[in-house]
Structure 1
Amino acid sequence: MALSPAIDPAGYTYAHEHLYIDLSPFKNNADCCLDEYELLRDELNSLMDRGVRNIIEMTNRYMGRNVDFIGRLMLETGINVLFSTGYYQQNFYPPHVAQRDAQTLAAEMVAEIETGIGNSGIRASVIGEIGSSEGKITPDEAKMFHAAALAWHQTGRPVSTHTGFSTMGPEQLALLTGFGVSPESVVIGHCDLRDDLDTLLKIIDAGAWVQFDTIGKNNYFPDEKRVRLLSELSQRGLLSRVMLSMDITRKSHLAKNGGPGFCYLTDTFVPMLRAAQISQREIDQMLRDNPATFFK
């Protein structure tokens, strides 16, 4: 019987991460294969020391997912990992996506949720990361959102999305709710790559969740601006709809390789939040309570 990992509600959760991902064939860049076991193990042990107990692993089948590799990390570090099922976005789709209908694509997701991922003995817990391109949703991507909605109707598992540089989030939500998905079951990903408070408010007002999940990627968008946006949401009492993460995907993102490392969020970004007068209660909300509610 396949196991379906459950979130530990007492610990912090990184809501959008990758512990093994291989996009190197698509990007023609060996750095895009995150596969350094010892470095990942050591960083996860450090996260455990800081009270992080859960990782939402967003690598689905066609992003190079490696359940055995992650299973070893779970056993050796004690960290809890929830796995995902679905398809990423247009540029990374395998050829068969164009030929299959939404019902067939949904059936693949449902099988990984209800039966298990391959022969791993582990079931997927999240429908994601379901993505769209920057500034548009292609016809095949729209079909994938339909498939995700069908999988949600059958399993009730939450849907986590990928936006291209914080674009098309409201449109993603409109697609999913148009297919009957409850907005409370949707989190829009990568909402922290644009200085766009209005879009954040629109998504939250519609009943969905938002993720600030590229924390530490200052080359894309500075953390100081992320903090300012979170302060705006704090002043409106809306951090109860926000989750945090880093979306580490490359070897060069790991601390020993010169990157921020997984502990950057707890060690550097959280003190930035405190300095901006965001309370410990709100920090606990974003890192513990909100993920425990959403991914339960």
Structure 2
Amino acid sequence: MGYTLMHEHIYLDLSAVKQDDDCLLNAFDLMVAEFKQLKTLGVERIVDVTNIGMGRNLAYVEQIQQHSGVEIVSATGCYKEPFLPDWFYQKTIDDIAHHFIEEIEIGIEASARKAGIIGEVGSGFDGISEAESKLLQAAALASLATGKMITTHTSLGRFGHEQLDLFTNMGLSAEQVIIGHTDLAGDRDYLQQLLDRGAIVEFDTIGKLSYLSDELRADLFSEAVAKGYQQQLLLSVDITRKSHLKANGGIGYAYLFTHFLPMLFERGVTEQDIEVILQHNPNRILARQTAL
């Protein structure tokens, strides 16, 4: 298995809530072309963290996989408020966890495709709401039952510790949790603390310069590598809009390889480090399953 991008979207529809058609990611031909380019750069697998309530489209995903030759791993879970499905609020934590477990063990939406990860499950800009706490607890129960890893959304990188506290209080180890979007915090101490707790830290908004410069991202990431945290680090770009695609004037999925990795190499990160981060870590994470 070659490289894996651990936090991406294949078909995504947040357009109704955001009132923006750009948030409907559905450019089939452009995506196939980009994925074929990714294959030439060593990418063999992409984790699609589009889950319940985010416009998940399994038929589209299967066609993208077939036409591009890139393996796609699907996810279970729900996103965060205000994107939670209506039924979520009527269900208990156990009910929701059972739904996630079924998508892992039986299949998603009565299909043969099984979820390989739980996520992206998240929290908002002001912390973890009551409904989001319910979501994260259900995700924890599903993880405990199946051994599948949890990958999270943090709004602007914040409240990763609070997410981790909830998960560890539910009985998970920090090593079973990927804290997403941590690069957006731009905070060296915060990053260090999450790594010291044992969590997997994901820099997955590479190239989104309106939030943070890639120079700062590269500085923080390379410093973490220099301190020996390679086995707790992941990279991705989190394409979420049609305008993010290369042909539409965006950075495209390959930006990580064409622009960001050279910045890391300039800062002392080695090809061996990148192999650990983009190959060995994803292989280990996606191979996890329950010991029961």
Q: Give TM class, smaller chain.
A: over 0.9
C-alpha root-mean-square deviation of aligned residues, in Å? 1.0
Partner of 2:246: 255
Partner of 2:103: 112
Range with bigger deviation, 19-28 or 201-210: 201-210
For the residues of structure 1 that align with 2:175 and 2:286, how far apart are their CA atoms? 11
Q: How does 1:1-296 map to 2 (within 5 A)?
A: 10-296=1-287
For the residues of structure 1 that align with 2:213 and 2:62, how far apart are their CA atoms? 33
TM-score, reference length from structure 1: 0.95
**SS of equivalent to 1:91:** coil
Is contact 1:158–1:186 with CA below 8 Å preserved after alignment? yes
Q: Deviations over 1:115-170 (max 9, x none)?
A: 10113310111110110001310011111111011111211111000001010001
**SS of equivalent to 1:193:** helix
- Amino acid of the structure 1 residue aligned with 2:218: V
**SS of equivalent to 2:110:** coil
**SS of equivalent to 1:40:** helix
**SS of equivalent to 2:64:** helix
- Amino acid of the structure 2 residue aligned with 1:214: T
Task: Among all aligned residue pairs of Structure 1 and Structure 2, give the percentage whose two residues are the same amino acid.
Answer: 41
Q: CA deviation at 1:195?
A: 1.8
Range with bigger deviation, 88-97 or 261-270: 88-97
For the residues of structure 2 that align with 1:48 and 1:212, how far apart are their CA atoms? 21
**SS of equivalent to 1:243:** strand
For the residues of structure 1 that align with 2:57 and 2:258, how far apart are their CA atoms? 28
Misfit runs of 4+, over 6 Å:
none
Is contact 1:68–1:120 with CA below 8 Å preserved after alignment? no
Q: CA deviation at 1:231?
A: 2.0
Is contact 2:156–2:184 with CA below 8 Å preserved after alignment? yes
**SS of equivalent to 1:84:** strand
**SS of equivalent to 2:155:** coil
Q: CA deviation at 1:291?
A: 1.2
Partner of 1:3: none
For the residues of structure 1 that align with 2:148 and 2:222, how far apart are their CA atoms? 30
Range with bigger deviation, 264-273 or 193-202: 193-202
Q: CA deviation at 1:95?
A: 2.6
In structure 1, stretches of 5+ residues that fail to align are: 1-9
For the residues of structure 2 that align with 1:60 and 1:46, how far apart are their CA atoms? 25
Partner of 1:4: none
Is contact 2:4–2:45 with CA below 8 Å preserved after alignment? yes
For the residues of structure 1 that align with 2:222 and 2:108, how far apart are their CA atoms? 40
Q: CA deviation at 1:94?
A: 2.1
**SS of equivalent to 1:246:** coil
Is contact 1:24–1:30 with CA below 8 Å preserved after alignment? yes
Partner of 2:290: none
Q: Deviations over 1:230-273 (max 9, x none)?
A: 12212211122100000001000000000000111111111111
**SS of equivalent to 1:265:** helix
**SS of equivalent to 2:211:** coil
The alignment covers a number of residue pairs equal to 287
For the residues of structure 1 that align with 2:225 and 2:234, how far apart are their CA atoms? 13
Is contact 1:48–1:79 with CA below 8 Å preserved after alignment? yes
In structure 2, stretches of 5+ residues that fail to align are: 288-292
For the residues of structure 2 that align with 1:21 and 1:135, how far apart are their CA atoms? 24
